[in-house]
Amino acid sequence: MSSVEADARRRLMSRFRGKDTKPEILVRQALHRAGRRFRVNVRNLPGKPDIVMRKDRTIIFVHGCFWHSHQNCSIARVPKTKPEFWKAKFASNLERDERVAQALRTAGWRVIVIWECEARGRELVNLLARHGVIY
């Protein structure tokens, strides 16, 4: 890979954000419209959850399909450049996700995962209702 390609890749990857992503904002807007109160990116909980509803002891993670390897999703594909690196990266992300979710469940929290592709779909409100997060 030439340095021009590496620089272009670096610029592209630097645009990905860790919080306040479009899918997170869509989920938060749906919760807010339903009158639900929540906190975002709570630092004193394992994994710094995206959305925390203390009253219900419920945590919502809004996972990006690419970064968290959403199964059977067109967004979640392994890049052709350095595939072994990416497979290892995705595997470590999945391990971390499971470790964090287990720690939260052990502490008495209910953990819900909303995928990026679900958050962008029309059925977001129905999905949140099925999880019992909005009524």
Torsion angle of the four alpha carbons 12, 13, 14, 16, in this order, in degrees rounded to the nearest 10: 100
Model pTM?
A: 0.85
Q: Token pair for residue 34?
A: 């339903």
Residue 13 tokens read as: 């990857």
Q: What tens digit of pLDDT does each residue of 83-122 get? A: 999 999 999 999 999 999 999 999 999 999 999 999 988 8
Measure the CA–CA gap between 135 and 126, rounded to whole angstroms. 10
Choose the weakest-confidence range: 30-34, 70-74, 90-94, 104-108.
70-74
Give the pLDDT band of residue 52 (cuts 50, 70, 90): very high
Query: What class is the 18-130 domain?
Result: alpha beta
Cβ proximity of 51 and 38 under 8 Å:
yes
What tokens were used for 60? Answer: 């919502």
HSE value, Cβ hemisphere, 13 Å, CA-based, for 21: 22
Residue 64 above 70 pLDDT?
yes
Looking up tokens 């340095």 gives 3
> Of 46, 101, 96, whose CA–CA distance to 68 is shortest?
96
